[in-house]
Amino acid sequence: MCIPAALSQMSRAEVERIWLPFVPWMLLATGLLPERWRRLGLIVQVSFAIVVRTLLDTRW
C-alpha cells in the first residue's frame, strides 16, 4: 500500500493530517507555559513562517 502511494505522489499532500491528532495536546501544553514564553514562541513562529515563505518556493 505504501509503494503505490509513494509512486502516485499523493502522500505528499497528506503529511499535515499525520499531525492533526496532536494539535489539541499542543494547545493544552502551550496553555501551561508562562506568559513570557508564549509571547516569545509566537514571535519565533511568525518570524520562521515569514522566512520560510520568503525563501522557499512551493508548487502547491
Residue 40 lies in a domain: yes
Q: Is the pLDDT of residue 2 over 70?
A: no
Mean pLDDT value of segment 30-50: 90
Confidence label for 60 from pLDDT (cuts 50, 70 and 90): low
Residue 60 lies in a domain: no
The alpha carbon of 5 is separated from its chain's Cα centroid by a whole number of angstroms, namely 21
Q: Which domain holds residue 11?
A: 2-55
pLDDT in tens, 5-39: 666 665 566 666 777 788 888 888 888 889 889 89
Residue 48 lies in a domain: yes
pLDDT of residue 11: 58
Cell numbers 511568525: residue: 46
Residue 23 lies in a domain: yes
- Interatomic CA distance for residues 50 and 60, integer angstroms: 17
pLDDT of residue 19: 72
- Interatomic CA distance for residues 5 and 14, integer angstroms: 10
What backbone phi and psi angles, to 5 degrees, belong to 57? Answer: -110, 100
- Interatomic CA distance for residues 48 and 60, integer angstroms: 19
- Number of independent structural domains in the chain: 1
